[in-house]
Amino acid sequence: MIETLVIIFCILAIGTALTTCLSSKIIRSTFFFGITLFIIAFIFMLVGSNLLGVIQILLYTGGTLILFLFSIFLTGDWDYNNLGETFHKPVTAVLIAFFFFLITSYLISTSETFINLETTFNLNRVASVQEISSSLFNDWIFVLELSSILLLATIVGCLTLLKFRKEVD
């Protein structure tokens, strides 16, 4: 039952990601991007990483997606017709993406490590929140502090960039 659901959600994720890419309008593309993120969060939950699924929904659809929508609304008076629909050098981009997929697929399908990983794959193992938090606050505390400094630097950087408005106007 869960395996069927995972496969259905995988197909849906690929479909919505393709629609995100090929949508003619940026607002439509953003909404399909949100749906893709929701579906990936559901896949996370189905494979037993409930914490990550919840964080994905909260951080992306509650944070990043709203940021995208606000940016679109703040620049809503701009004519998007010349940029939203067009592709810049699409053949080169398709070739690079295709070769990336081909090379990584080949490496994964021929790798001994991945063949061994496939045999030990266990869908029913649920990630324990206690184990994750214990590891995060003991083994990875330095990286956690670094990421908090990074977030602080981002806030300062965004404020510095957008402070430029008064000088320009």
Residues 60-99 that bind another protein (CB under 8 A): 60, 63-64, 67-68, 71-72, 74-75, 78, 80, 83-84, 86-90, 92-94, 96-98
Residue 66 CB, shortest distance to another protein, in Å, is 11
Q: How many residues bind another protein (CB under 8 A)?
A: 87
CA distance 113 to 118: 9
Spatial CB neighbours of 97, under 8 Å, sequence gap ≥ 6: none
Spatial CB neighbours of 29, under 8 Å, sequence gap ≥ 6: 20, 21, 23, 84
CB-CB contact of 35 with 23 (8 Å):
no
47 binds another protein (CB under 8 A): yes
125 in helix, strand or coil?
coil
Residues 5, 108, 141, 145: which binds another protein (CB under 8 A)? Answer: 108
Residues 17, 35, 54, 141: which binds another protein (CB under 8 A)? Answer: 17
Spatial CB neighbours of 52, under 8 Å, sequence gap ≥ 6: 41, 44, 127
Q: Which of residues 124-153 bind another protein (CB under 8 A)?
A: 125, 127-128, 131-132, 135-136, 140, 143, 147, 150-151, 153
CA distance 100 to 95: 8
Residue 55 CB, shortest distance to another protein, in Å, is 6
Residue 72 CB, shortest distance to another protein, in Å, is 7
13 binds another protein (CB under 8 A): yes
Residues 5, 81, 100, 141: which binds another protein (CB under 8 A)? Answer: 100
CA distance 55 to 133: 14
